[in-house]
Amino acid sequence: GLLEGSLFLGLQTYFEKYGGVYKLLFGPKSFIVVSDPIIAKYILRENAKAYDKGVLAEILAPIMGKGLIPADPETWRVRR
């Protein structure tokens, strides 16, 4: 799992076991991990308005400003 090595290796193990989309739990928080490029394209380009960046964007905004994760939709659209 994630505690047995680097984060990437843990995520790679989960990808191999569960496929390109899976739910990942961190304590009381859960995240959907998308590694499948076709599904990622659909989410990011074709249906972006249906998804929210959630609490991660709120946490990172003071650190990253308008970086990739906390960027508002218009800033993100221009940069993608």
Q: What pLDDT does 80 receive?
A: 65
Which two three-digit tokens encode residue 23?
A: 């739910």
Closest CA to 59 of 68, 70, 71: 70
Supply the pTM of this predicted model: 0.56
CB-CB neighbours of 71 under 10 Å: 19
**What are the φ and ψ backbone dihedral angles of 22, each rounded to 5 degrees?**
-155, 160
Contacts of 57 by beta carbon, 8 Å cutoff, 6+ apart: 69, 70
List pLDDT tens digits, range 14-31. Answer: 899 999 999 988 788 888
Model confidence at 5: pLDDT above 70:
no
Which two three-digit tokens encode residue 11?
A: 């995520």
Higher pLDDT: 13 or 56? It is 13
Q: Which of 13-27, 29-43, 49-63 has the lowest mean pLDDT?
A: 49-63
